[in-house]
Amino acid sequence: MPQSMTLPRLPEGASHRAGSLETRLARGAEVDAALALRHRVFCEERGAISTGATAGLEEDAYDRDCDHLIVLDHARPDVPVVGTYRLLRGDVADRIGGFYSGGEYDLAPLIRHAAQCGAGLLELGRSCVEIKYRNSTAISLLWRGLATYLEAFRIGYIFGCASFHGTDVAAHADGLSYLHRLHLAPPELRVRALRGHYVEMDAPGADLVAGGQNLPPLVKAYLRVGAKVGDGAFIDHTFNTVDVFMVMPVERIVGRYGRRFGLVD
């Protein structure tokens, strides 16, 4: 049984609906359905290399201990899971040996700061939505579900890696420079890419206007809720991406977007 199953969960039946779509935590076989969706999006659509032991599932050593927020389309009983987000809380990470992003970044400053503040940590990962559902309705549902989760577990900081597609750093120089120069995390939250994998983000002569306009949609969404970035990028050859670390204080989300995402009445 996943270790997170032994800890308090969201209230039974807690979910959000919009038409035929519903968001809630995955139950039972729905976890495999979420992993299958990830395989279709990351491996078949975007060229990631599947490392899971089961064909057709995009899975790693963390998945069975994580919670999986999903979007279901009840009008599609054949393949109802059309969106997912992997959620790894700090208390679970302590039990299983750390966070996924700890394999790319030195998380010590963030973990130390959160402990000093008594703030819970939540790592977000493997966000994906089936192509025909990549609209405001499905994505807003995921954020509403996330808001419920943040409140239930008293999370202080959410973080994770967001990606630029492809591993050519030069092709993303404008966007990476924009993030480094305008959205660098304060020192107490500024994690750094691991030694030997650190990729400089600040390119001389970068076009910051173009960089800000051409950011990946998920990166833009995180910036809108007050995210800051870590120091250095990380090339993930397995996922065919250039990763950046992003951290978001939940109190900032509440202050600016609480009503929109259901964090406050």
Q: What is the pLDDT along the chain (265 residues), one digit of tens a residue?
A: 344 443 345 555 578 889 999 999 999 999 999 999 999 999 999 999 888 778 899 999 999 999 999 999 999 888 799 999 999 999 999 999 999 999 999 999 999 999 999 999 999 999 999 999 998 889 889 988 888 898 888 899 999 999 999 999 999 999 999 999 999 999 999 999 999 999 999 999 999 999 999 999 889 989 988 899 999 999 999 999 999 999 999 986 655 544 454 443 3
What Rg do the C-alpha atoms of the chain give, in angstroms?
18
Token pair of 164, please? 């630029």
Residues 6 or more apart in contact with residue 157 via CB below 8 angstroms: 110, 114, 119, 120, 121, 122, 189, 247, 248, 249, 250
How many CA atoms within 13 Å lie on the side-chain side of 66? 25
- Contact between residue 148 and residue 137 where contact means Cβ atoms under 8 Å apart: no
**CA neighbor of 92 nearest in space, from 16, 21, 29, 149:** 149
Phi/psi of residue 52, each to 5°? -75, 160
pLDDT of residue 162: 95
pLDDT at 147: 86
Q: What does the CA dihedral 137, 164, 232, 234 come to, rounded to 10 degrees?
A: 110
**Which pLDDT does position 65 carry in this prediction?**
96
HSE-up of residue 219 (Cα within 13 Å, Cβ side): 24
State the pLDDT at residue 53: 74
Instruction: Give the Cα separation of 150 and 211 in Å (integer).
Output: 31
Q: Residue 144 has what pLDDT? A: 87
> Angle 62-83-67 (CA atoms, 0-180°, nearest 5)?
30
Instruction: Enumerate residues 6+ apart whose C-beta is below 8 A from 207.
Output: 174
**How far, in Å, are 67, 68, 158, 163, 215 from residue 87 at the CA level?**
5, 6, 10, 17, 23
pTM over 0.85: yes
What is the reported pLDDT for 13?
Answer: 53
Its sign, for the CA torsion 169, 174, 176, 181, is positive
Q: pLDDT value at position 193?
A: 98
Domains of the chain: 3-261 (3.40.630.30)
